[in-house]
Copies of this chain bind each other. A is one copy, B any other.
Amino acid sequence: MLDEAGNLDNLRNAASGGTAFRGPMFMDSDVYKWLEAAGWELGRSPDPKLSGLVDGVLAIVAAAQTDDGYLNSYFQVAEPGKRWTDIPQGHELYCIGHLVQAAVALSRATGDERLMRIAERAVQNAELVFGDDRRIDVPGHPEIESALIEVYRHTRDAADLKLAAFFLDHRGFGLLGGGRFRDPAYYQDRVPVREATVIEGHAVRATYLMTGVVDAFLETGEEALLAAAERQWRDMVDHKQYLTGAIGSRHFSESFGEPYELPSATAYAETCAAIGSFFWNWRLLLATGEGKYGDEMEWTLYNAILSGISLDGTHFFYENPLSSRGDRVRNEWYTVACCPPNIMRLMASLGHYFATGDAHGVQVHQYGQSTLIHGPIELAVRTMYPWDETVRFEVRATPETVWELALRIPTWCEYAAITVNGATVEFEVKDGYATVEWLWSAGDIVELRLPMPVQLVSAHPFVESARASAAIVRGPLVYCIEACDQPGDGSSTTTLDADAPLRPVWRDDLLGAVMTIVGSGYSRPLAGWDGLYRRRADVSDARDRIEVTAVPYFLWANRESGPMAVWIPVER
């Protein structure tokens, strides 16, 4: 796709002095996201074919870089001589950020330092331009901040951390903005980073910025940065987040809306914004050790992010609405193709978010089939989670010492249970984690049970789109109803009988094997509705009792395109 869309040709033209440029000015960033994904993939398992592709793209990138380290095919090919002239929209620093993250991935995962050398030269070139004693400006699209801190962790070069801090310190003074619909709030440039109390503006920009803010806290320990991030996180989860974890409800400016402005059908809910939230929550988890951030990562991953990709992994949603009248299809690629490679790099690196280790032991944040290694400790994790509620840990290797196994207990789970070698273990949940302190031996088995009753969720009465409605959840999965699973031809409305039982039904034959939820409700024909409003007395209340079948939201629109809803009106 990168070849077809012109991303690689742009870089080739930068090297050869060609003048043809295709696509938006941030085309390079998708190449770097692919390199990042490839780096993580190669770290998981060597793959000569993929290595060959990486070598080829690396050569193209290396050739494109100018002698002074500058690298941006748009400004080299399409607008030569205009470097650094459009900081709000130019995306030069954004592209360097993604270059750095790709370099970090290749280096960490495979030890390949070739891209890191390119990235360092690009960063050094930027460091000559921006700084307190040089040019004072902040990038229109955050990304470089977190990337500079990542590269600082690699290089320990104070200049990298200093430039990240510079971009954070000067944000919030209205350097950006301008244009009728592009106010500083769009760019998170209305209020200094440390003073911001609400999350606002373009949702990807906002979450990428917050990712950098928490990264800066992690390196500097400056509490004001963490406090600002926690305030904005609180505003997001309390006022501006869809049930799926998706954020950025407005199409206009791809931005956060007002508190409670969470329409279903017209939700923007960009896949990349959910990924940004995932990155941000990971840093907050690292900074605080609080399980609520791991909960957010899990919920956002399974619902808001995974909905962005088709079951076969080849088609992508940019927008992730919570209801549809049937006109939505995932596309193979986009002119602004930020989402597909963003999913790619997240999926390729997903294992790195599962667990952490420290002197106390191992902390498990996400549950899935995996092998967790921390020094001499090796744990094999076996589970069908989130379909199944049991996660089994086998101690494959351990030193003969006491250490702690900390397991995140999601807030949706009320009656978690843990056994060690078959015996029930008492535990308290602290900061969202159950901790088992034990003198471990190889062969020990820990079983975590996270009961997943089907539950109905209500939304705050101010959320117009969810009023008098309920959503079905089970474990970390939000469900939806698709018309093709209900009786009839899709030209009727479905309500849910909130008093009828809801039962999980495993279906081998559906959507690659899936846990459905079956309940009861009512169907009413839409046929009587010609216009918008009718006297209630004239609206027929004739309804048919039907069996209602829900599927996980992330799997929607994988069959024929048809109506879908997360929020289902309830009645008795």
Contact = CB atoms under 8 A, between A and B. Distances in A.
Given A238-B531, A266-B261, A537 B456 contact: yes
A536 B464 contact: no
A49 interface: no
B464 A238 contact: no
Given A458-B535, A498-B536, 6 more contacts: A181-B181, A457-B535, A461-B529, A465-B465, A468-B569, A470-B536
A19 interface: no
Contacts of A530: 238
Given A260-B265, A464-B464, A468-B467, A458 B539 contact: yes
25 contacts: A179-B180, A181-B252, A238-B530, A239-B532, A243-B532, A243-B533, A250-B252, A257-B266, A258-B265, A260-B265, A260-B532, A261-B263, A264-B464, A265-B464, A323-B464, A455-B537, A456-B536, A457-B533, A460-B529, A460-B532, A461-B493, A463-B532, A465-B467, A467-B467, A468-B569
Contacts of A459: 532-533
A214 to B, nearest CB: 21
Interface in A171-208: 179-181
Contact of A533 (B257, B460, B529): B460
A536 B455 contact: yes
A320 interface: no
A107 interface: no
Interface footprint category on A: 35 or more
A458 B238 contact: no
A241 interface: yes
B458 A536 contact: yes
B531 A237 contact: yes
A161 to B, nearest CB: 35
A252 B252 CA distance: 7
Interface in A506-542: 526, 529-537, 539
A463 B469 CA distance: 13
Contacts of A241: 532
A325 interface: yes
